[in-house]
Structure 1
Amino acid sequence: MNHGLILPILLPMLAGSLLLVRSYLSLRVKRVISLILTWALLPISIWLLMQANSGELQLYALGNWQAPFGIVLMLDRLAALMLVITAVLAGFAMLYAVRGDDERGPNFHALFQFQLLGINGAFLTGDLFNLFVFFEILLIASYSLLVYGGGAQRVKTGVHYVVLNLVASSLFLIGIGILYGLLGTLNLADLALKIAEADAERQPLLAAAGFLLLIVFGLKAAVLPLYFWLPSAYAAATAPVAALFAIMTKVGLYAIVRVFTLLFGSQAGTLTHLVEGLLWPLAMLTLAAGVIGALAVRSFERLIGYLVIVSVGTLLAGISLGTADSLSGALFYLIHSSWICAALFLLADMVARQRGDLRGRLRTGPRLANPLLLGALFFIAAVSVAGLPPFSGFLGKIMLLRAAGAGQQALELWPVVLIGGLGMLVALSRAGSVLFWRTTDEAAPKTDLDTVRALATIGLLACSPLLVVAAQPVYEYTQATAQQLLNVDAYLQLVRGGEA
């Protein structure tokens, strides 16, 4: 048994516990501990990615209780990929946070580590109940991080966020309660076996449980009509927290992929592709709503929130097509959108610091102290997130459009994606002209550009051209990941006693 598989969970759990128990430590010591342990997740995640690339599914049975009776962690190509994405994003977000954003209240670093614990655990768990447990861990940490620093707007947004997620958690418990009551197991691979063997009397209830899970995951992924909480929540959070939150919608999308390809995949009999007919229209509507919101909004931070919603709709479109090519394109786009949207939140904060009381409101304001550097970073981010060449967003969209083929879905996807890209470009162009061109003669408040904050932002933005340079090996990996996901038999072998 590979004990390294539990390290992405164990490391932030121990770090968070240490920082919480030793809360009397100086802020400088907390920063050093948090930075070292956060960046330590990157080599561990890359090592696990190299192991997963062999194609062999790996299990870690806690207490050595084997599946389906014990709690297990499961490593495949998808889980390893999500761990790497999270590690890169968290490392740069933490680097940004230690320049002052962690001073606004107590226990920032402990909460940040517990958030990572929940995210990494959700990617690695092979058990539906423990998916719920890790969801709750990351949500509890996110509640505190969202209102970190106080303020009426943060508290108001935080209350909405908490209430919605408490409702979602209740529905999640009802859904897994139905599954356990009918099938007597919550191990994902074992559930897939038993759903396939379920008789006709139990299938309507199993379908109801599946739809409940879709609602829960749709809320966490910010799928229409469950996305209204996202722009306000992300705009209210501090920059490094909002950047870390950029991966949270991907946790919901990950859960949709994991549950509905494995539990209700090709082996599920009459329940095969249970939600496939719903995902396609939801994807198109979410994408369109995100673009409309981006065009209407009057705040830079809220604009980025709507760009996150656009990325969710685009990813859901690739997932809904259900082919290896479409899943591969969606995964490539997921890597790109997670890093670039996170970089935009950091960039928005650097711009807001030089606009005085206006902050990120899209109104004519004073000249920025560093317009050339910030303008150049904005231009790169805008081109990338809008999906224009030569950056990674363009490649991701091309992969998705090619995967749609030449049928009815292509006729629906191409106009929405292309017109949506145009809408994003218009919204970003308007924001850029207000922030960098339509300025008054009034001088900007005296705010020195923090070098470390700039390096953290540049580091995340640099991931886009690096993805282009490494496009071939990344594409080959995402193709292999998609094929592994669709090969349900390999997962079923985990509970049949064979080798996966």
Structure 2
Amino acid sequence: MNHAIILPILLPLFAGALLMLLHRSGKSFKRALSLLATLALIPVTAWLVLLAGDGELRVYALGDWRPPFGIILLLDRLSALMVLLTAVLAGFAALYASAGEDERAPNFHALFQFQLAGINGAFLTGDLFNLFVFFEILLIASYGLLVYGNGAARARAGMHYVVLNLLGSSFFLIGVGTLYGLLGTLNMADMAARVASADSQTAPLVAAAGFLLLVVFGLKAAILPLYFWLPRTYAAASAPVAALFAIMTKVGLYAILRVFTLVFGSEAGELAFYAHDWLWWLALLTLAAGAIGALAARSLQEMISYLLVISVGSLLAVFALGSRASLGAGLYYLVHSTLVCGGLFLLADLLGRQRGELAGALQVGPMLRQPMLLGGLFFFGALAVAGLPPLSGFLGKLLMLRSAGTGATALEFWPLLLIAGLASIVTLSRAGNRLFWRNNGQAAEGPLADPLRLAATAGLLLASVVLVIVAQPLQAYLDAAAAQLLDLAPYLRIVEGGEA
């Protein structure tokens, strides 16, 4: 076994535990340890991406108990990509927090590390019960991160977030228990084999349990009608937390893609892709709701949250199409939207600091102290997130539109995606007008942007340029990841002898 597979979980887990033990240490020590652990994930996960690039599935059997009896971690191109994306996003978010945003909570960095352990575990696990366990780890850490710093808005958003996710966790446990009672296993590769052989009496119950999981994953991904918690929660969170939360919706989408492609994929007999029609219409409705919400947003953070909902709807639509081209296009857009939206959350905080009491409210306020610098970053981020050329958002949307083909699906998908893009341009233009072009004649009294915060913000936004530069090799890797995901035979061989 290659022990590097478990490092994305162990590194933040041990770092978080050490930070808790040394919670009385100075803030400089905590920041250094947290940054070191977070930045160390980038070369580790980059190595995993290179390792997974040969197309071989790698299994890490905890305790050396072989599947299907033991708990396994599974490394393929998709899981490797997701942990690398998490590491890059978390590195910039931790850098931003280290400029002073972490001072209001003594255990901020410990919670940050525990959330990373949960997110990476969710991407790497090959066992449905441990997907539940890692969901709980990342959620418990996110509860603390969301409410730190106090404030009525954060307390209200935190309460809604906690109650909804506790309800979701209950449904998750019921669904997992039902599937285990029916199939006798929770190893996802083994479940795929057993679902395929389910008889006519068992199949409806398996399908019902699968729908229950879909509700849970839809709540995590913020799919209509389960997305209402997201705008308020993300708008209330502090900037580095909101930036890290940009990957949280992708955890839900990843779970949908993994479970409904592997367990209920092409080898599932009468249950093959049974939920995809539901996913398609839910995706289109989510896309429309995100566009309407963005137009109605009253604050910059709320607007960015709805732009994130638009990306969720777009991604779910191409995942529901289920072709190699649509999955590859969706994965490219997933990387783009996660990094750019994370950067916009950081930028919104930089703007809010200079606007004083108005913060991120989309109202005419004082003239900013750095209008050219912050305005340039906002213009760049707006081009990227709206999908205008020549940045990565344009490439991602172009790939998704092409993957829809020319039939009825294109007739349904193209207008909604383009109208959502138009809504994004309108709301971003309105926000830019109120933030930069118009002012009340007063000078802003807020501080100049901290260089460390500027570097973290610019780093995430400039990822849009990097994604264009490396578009060809990246898209080749993502197409291969999509092909690997649709070829279930190697996954089914996992239960026969570990490595596939």
TM-score by length of structure 1 reads: 0.99
d(CA) in 1 for partners of 2:185 and 2:47? 31
Aligned positions of 1:95-174 closer than 5 A = 95-174=95-174
Measured against aligned partners, the alpha-carbon deviations of 1:390-409 in whole angstroms (never above 9, x if no partner) come to 00000011111101111000
Report the counterpart of residue 379 of structure 2 in structure 1: 379
Report the counterpart of residue 458 of structure 1 in structure 2: 458
Report the counterpart of residue 47 of structure 2 in structure 1: 47
Report the counterpart of residue 350 of structure 1 in structure 2: 350
Aligned positions of 1:62-461 closer than 5 A = 62-461=62-461
The structural deviation recorded for 1:419 is: 1.1
d(CA) in 2 for partners of 1:314 and 1:243? 20
In structure 2, give the amino acid aligned to 1:491: Y
C-alpha contact (below 8 Å) 2:279/2:317 kept by paired residues: yes
d(CA) in 1 for partners of 2:341 and 2:498? 42
In structure 2, give the amino acid aligned to 1:250: K
Unaligned runs of at least 5 residues, structure 1: none
C-alpha contact (below 8 Å) 2:355/2:446 kept by paired residues: no
d(CA) in 1 for partners of 2:154 and 2:31? 24
Unaligned runs of at least 5 residues, structure 2: none
SS in structure 1 at match of 2:102: helix
d(CA) in 2 for partners of 1:489 and 1:402? 28
Report the counterpart of residue 25 of structure 1 in structure 2: 25
The structural deviation recorded for 1:446 is: 4.1
d(CA) in 2 for partners of 1:31 and 1:213? 37
d(CA) in 2 for partners of 1:195 and 1:446? 59
The structural deviation recorded for 1:449 is: 1.6
Q: Does 1:6 align with 2:11?
A: no
In structure 2, give the amino acid aligned to 1:148: Y
The structural deviation recorded for 1:247 is: 0.1
C-alpha contact (below 8 Å) 2:58/2:76 kept by paired residues: yes
SS in structure 1 at match of 2:59: strand
d(CA) in 2 for partners of 1:361 and 1:468? 32
The structural deviation recorded for 1:497 is: 2.6
The structural deviation recorded for 1:7 is: 0.3
In structure 1, give the amino acid aligned to 2:303: L
C-alpha contact (below 8 Å) 2:99/2:452 kept by paired residues: yes
d(CA) in 2 for partners of 1:498 and 1:66? 6
Aligned length: 500
d(CA) in 2 for partners of 1:296 and 1:413? 23
d(CA) in 1 for partners of 2:169 and 2:218? 12
d(CA) in 2 for partners of 1:228 and 1:444? 33
d(CA) in 2 for partners of 1:245 and 1:33? 21
d(CA) in 2 for partners of 1:497 and 1:157? 47
SS in structure 1 at match of 2:164: helix
d(CA) in 1 for partners of 2:85 and 2:338? 8
In structure 1, give the amino acid aligned to 2:390: P
The structural deviation recorded for 1:499 is: 4.9
d(CA) in 2 for partners of 1:341 and 1:230? 14
In structure 2, give the amino acid aligned to 1:282: L
C-alpha contact (below 8 Å) 2:66/2:497 kept by paired residues: no
d(CA) in 1 for partners of 2:24 and 2:226? 40
TM-score by length of structure 2 reads: 0.99
d(CA) in 2 for partners of 1:105 and 1:79? 32
Sequence identity (%): 63
d(CA) in 1 for partners of 2:220 and 2:420? 23
